[in-house]
Chains A and B, each alone.
Chain A
Amino acid sequence: MLTVKDIHKSFGDLQVLKGIDFTVNKGDVIAVLGASGSGKTTLLRCMNFLEKADSGTLIFDDEEFDLSKMRKKDILRLRKKTAFVFQNYNLFRNLTALQNVTVGLTVARKMDKKTADEIGMKMLDKVGLLDRKDHYPNELSGGQQQRVAIARALATSPEVIFFDEPTSALDPELIGEVLSVMKDLAEEGMTMVVVTHELNFAANVAKKVIFMEDGKILESNTAEEFFKSPKEERTREFLKIINRE
Chain B
Amino acid sequence: MAEFFIETFKLSERLVTIFFDSFGKIMIPGIKVTIPLTIISFSISLVIAVATALVQYAHVPVLRHVARFYIWVVRGTPLLVQLFLIFFGLPKLGILLNPFPAAIIVFSLNTGAYDAENIRAAIESVPKGQLEAGYCVGMSYMQIFFRIILPQALRTAFPPLSNSLISLVKDTSLAANITVVEMFMATQRINSRVYEPLLLYAEVALIYLIFCTVLTKVQTVWERKLRVLD
Contacts and interface: CB of A to CB of B under 8 A. Distances in A.
Contacts, number: 63
A107 B147 contact: yes
Nearest to B228: A136
A50 B138 contact: no
A84 B134 CA distance: 10
Contact of A92 (B133, B140, B155, B230): B133
B152 interface: yes
A33 interface: no
B134 A92 contact: yes
Interface in A87-105: 88, 90-95, 103-104
Closest 10 A/B residue pairs (Cβ): A104-B137, A108-B138, A90-B129, A90-B133, A84-B136, A80-B138, A94-B151, A108-B139, A94-B152, A92-B148
Given A103-B147, A156-B137, 18 more contacts: A48-B135, A79-B136, A83-B137, A84-B132, A84-B133, A86-B129, A90-B127, A90-B129, A90-B132, A92-B148, A94-B229, A104-B137, A104-B138, A104-B139, A107-B139, A107-B147, A109-B138, A138-B230
B134 A156 contact: no
Determine the main DSSP class of B at the interface with A: helix
A103 B143 CA distance: 10
Which of B132, B138, B230 lies at the interface centre, i.e. has the most chain A CB atoms within 10 A of its CB? B138
Interface of A: 48-50, 76, 79-80, 82-84, 86, 88, 90-95, 103-104, 107-109, 136, 138, 152-153, 156
B138 A86 contact: no
B130 interface: yes
B126 to A, nearest CB: 8
B195 to A, nearest CB: 56
Nearest to B148: A92
Contacts of A88: 129
B157 to A, nearest CB: 13
A50 B137 contact: no
Nearest to B137: A104
Interface residues of B, number: 20
Contacts of A92: 130, 133-134, 148
A48 to B, nearest CB: 6
Contacts of A49: 135
B128 to A, nearest CB: 9
Nearest to A87: B129
A104 to B, nearest CB: 3
Nearest to B147: A107
A243 to B, nearest CB: 31
A50 B132 contact: yes
A136 B229 contact: yes
Residue among B136, B148, B151 with most chain A CB within 10 A: B136
Residue of B139, B152, B155, B229 with most partner-chain A CB within 10 A: B139
Contacts of B138: 76, 79-80, 104, 108-109, 156
A83 B136 contact: yes
A40 B140 CA distance: 26
Contacts of B130: 90, 92-93
Contact of B155 (A82, A94, A95, A138): A94
Given A86-B132, A93-B130, A103 B152 contact: no
Contacts of A95: 148
Nearest to B146: A107
A86 B151 CA distance: 22
22 contacts: A48-B135, A48-B136, A50-B136, A76-B140, A79-B135, A83-B137, A84-B132, A84-B133, A90-B127, A90-B130, A90-B132, A92-B130, A94-B148, A103-B137, A103-B148, A104-B137, A136-B229, A138-B229, A138-B230, A152-B137, A153-B136, A156-B138
